Structure 1
Amino acid sequence: MTPMSDSLPDWSPQAVVFDCDGTLMDTERHWQDARNRAFREFGLLPPPGFAERAKGVHYLDCGRLMAAETNKPDLAADLTAALLTHFLSLVAEDPLTMPGAGELVRLLSGRLPLAVASNCPLEVVEESLDRAGLRRHFRHVVVPTVMPGEPLTAERPGNGVPRQVVRPKPCPDVYAEAARLCGVPPEAALAVEDSLTGVESARRAGLRVLGVGRVPHDGDTGHADAWTPALNSPEVLTWVRERLPAARPATGRARDGNGPA
């Protein structure tokens, strides 16, 4: 582990909340491929540096960004729909985990509550984790209930019951809700993230953050507490074994997103 401060190695979390895309699942490349396919579908070229700017962004915002940066604002809805269609097709064909994701999740499983906080649609997260054999290790999956640009007073379709407001990253809601469902205060939970958008979300929610993957080009880690190149790096695995209690017997998990165990 490459420490960004000395606080993480000397600290023991009471829950761990993982991002999904690019952290647990190797789907960031699927989003990149899906963006490129959507651009080509409408005869457009990706603007320089667009992949980095789009990383971790909710797909609805990404579709609007694709339209804005190609000066085609009237295509925002069509680009968004094409983006999601291509992504779902790619995930179904090739659901791969990130290096070390399975090893770390299985090592943590039973030691303390685990959750996933993602900007992706619930069905995408659930299907990806199920196909990778990881879903059973997580008590909760939290995704936004209010989409970008949607009124915060939105109601559930058909019954008029107000929804719990969970806004997408970089808002803090998904991480704050995941910590709450795990039964711990945010400051007692660790977020594991690969994007600056996700790091910002977790930090705003009050969680400590372990960044994973390639450090951004400019070296800005978004105030992550620590950064590691892969989830199965020796430093990370040793830290888990030394700082966290031994695994407890499984007590079951929730199948529904944003709900109790």
Structure 2
Amino acid sequence: MTAQAHPLLGWSPEAVVFDCDGTLMDSERHWQDARSRAFREFGLTAPPGFADRAKGVHYVDCGRLMAEEADKPDLADDLARSLLEHFLSLVADDPVTMPGAAEFVRLLSGRLPLAVASNCPLPVVEESLGRAGLLRHFDHVVVPAQPPGPTPSRAVTDGPDTTVPGAVRPKPWPDVYTTAARLCGTEPVRALAVEDSSTGIESARRAGLRVLGVGPRPDEEEASRADLWVTALHSPVLLDWVRRQVPRSAEAREG
């Protein structure tokens, strides 16, 4: 595929908003391990195919889904708490970036406003991106209210934290992407989302962003929900698109 062969690669976004788990950080395996540990903690077994259904789902909603599929609805809150505790322990020990993620982010940095829109708790996003040396490249990090409800989420900046008014609901609601685009100073239709999960793609689509899908290519129906799908963010065509279509800002050139 050449840069001219796909419409998305002839477009210049005004901001790029990244998912975190499975897109920037290789943490989906930690969520899968954490789900297994939480199930075992309560003497339960994960139903077949549960990992696919849970991918990209906010941990509170995942706890509810775990409880429903195990026919133990009264355990929803306990499973969610257990899931988060196990995940925090795992990701703290092993924060690893996805192939090409660091290269792609660093190439975009200084060219466009960058943000993260994640279903992960804020401390996890800050810690994992910070340890990977990527947090400083992002102007904002938007996460849902923890837990979902009337508590505002925060947008993390290089300076003081900025409070985002109102409740920010988790993906697949569009809130995190709508908020991230606004904080980047643009309309959602002028921003690009980078996502690896169907839940995240639905969120970005509902917000109005164009979507770059990344990771192992899913079936054609799911892949077609993204404007373009690449297997990794260091795809030569993708890197060439940034260099050709997204010029560095004057401030970055002078620096």
Instruction: Tell whether the 8 Å contact from 1:2 to 1:227 is kept in structure 2 after alignment.
Output: no
- The aligned counterpart of 1:253 is none
What's the CA shift for 1:219?
A: 4.3
Q: Which residue pairs with 1:8 in the alignment?
A: 8
SS at 1:220's partner residue? helix
Quote the residue 1:170 is aligned against: 172
What is aligned with 2:214? 212
Answer yes or no: is 1:144 the counterpart of 2:134: no
SS at 2:61 equivalent = helix
2:199 alignment counterpart: 197
After TM superposition, list the pairs within 5 Å mapping 1:173-252 onto structure 2: 173-217=175-219, 219-221=221-223, 223-249=225-251
Counterpart CA distance in 2 for 1:213 and 1:32 is 16
Whichever residue aligns with residue 62 of structure 1, its letter is C
43 and 130 in structure 1: CA distance in 2 versus 1, 3 angstrom threshold = same
**Residues 192 and 209 in structure 1, CA contact (< 8 A), matched pair in contact too:** yes
Given that 2:54 and 2:62 are in contact with CA atoms closer than 8 Å, whether structure 1 keeps it comes out as: yes
Q: CA deviation at 1:91?
A: 0.6
Tell me how far apart the structure 1 counterparts of residues 145 and 216 of structure 2 sit (CA, whole Å).
30
**2:71 match: secondary structure:** coil
Uncovered stretches (5+) of structure 1, i.e. residues with no partner: 157-161, 251-261
Whether the 8 Å contact between 1:99 and 1:232 is mirrored in structure 2 is yes
CA distance in 2: counterparts of 1:126 and 1:78, whole angstroms:
25
In the alignment, the residues of structure 2 paired with residue 21 and residue 185 of structure 1 have an alpha-carbon distance, to the nearest angstrom, of 24
1:97 to 1:141, Cα distance in 2 relative to 1, 3 A = same
Report which stretch shifted further, 238-247 or 42-51.
238-247
How many Å apart are 1:166 and its aligned residue? 1.3
Structure 1 residue aligned with 2:160: none
State the one-letter code of the partner of 1:207. Answer: L
Letter paired with 1:75 = L
Q: CA deviation at 1:98?
A: 0.4
Is the 8 Å Cα contact of residues 113 and 139 (structure 1) preserved in structure 2? yes
**Residues 147 and 216 of structure 1: CA distance in aligned 2, closer, same or farther (over 3 Å):** farther
Q: Secondary structure at the match of 2:7?
A: coil
Aligned Cα RMSD in Å?
A: 2.1
CA–CA distance in structure 1, aligned partners of residues 244 and 217 of structure 2: 26
Q: In the superposition, relative to structure 1, how do residues 57 and 155 fare at CA in structure 2: closer, same or farther (>3 Å)?
A: closer
SS at match of 1:92: helix
More helix by share: 2
Which position in structure 1 is the counterpart of 2:62?
62
Aligned residues: 241
Structure 1 residue 7, shift from structure 2 partner: 2.5
Query: Which deviates the most, 164-173 or 191-200?
Result: 164-173
Q: Which moved more, 1:218-227 or 1:117-126?
A: 218-227
Report the 3-state secondary structure (helix = DSSP H, G, I; strand = E; otherwise coil) of the residue aligned with 1:17: strand
Contact 1:210 1:226 in 2 (8 A): yes
1:2 and 1:44 mapped to 2: Cα distance?
49
Deviations 1:120-144 (A, max 9, x none): 1111111111010000000000011
Q: CA distance change for structure 1 residues 2 and 34 in 2, over 3 Å: closer, same or farther?
A: farther
Q: What is the TM-score of this pair, normalised by structure 1?
A: 0.87
Instruction: Note closer, same or farther for the CA distance 1:155–1:75 as it changes in structure 2 (3 Å cut).
Output: closer
Q: Post-superposition shift, 1:247?
A: 4.9
Higher relative contact order (CA 8 A, sep 6+): 1
Q: 1:116 to 1:155 in 2, by over 3 A?
A: closer
SS at match of 1:8: helix
| d(CA) in 1 for partners of 2:219, 2:28 | 17
Residues 39 and 234 of structure 1: is their aligned pair in 2 closer, same or farther, counting only changes over 3 Å?
A: same
Paired with 1:208 and 1:248, the residues of 2 have a C-alpha distance of 26
CA separation in 2, counterparts of 1:133 and 1:30?
20
| Structure 1 counterpart of 2:240, one-letter code | T
Matched residues in 2 for 1:105 and 1:45: separation? 38
Structure 2, gaps ≥5 residues long: 153-163
Distance (Å, rounded) in 1 between the aligned partners of 2:46 and 2:182: 39
TM-score (structure 2 length as normaliser): 0.89
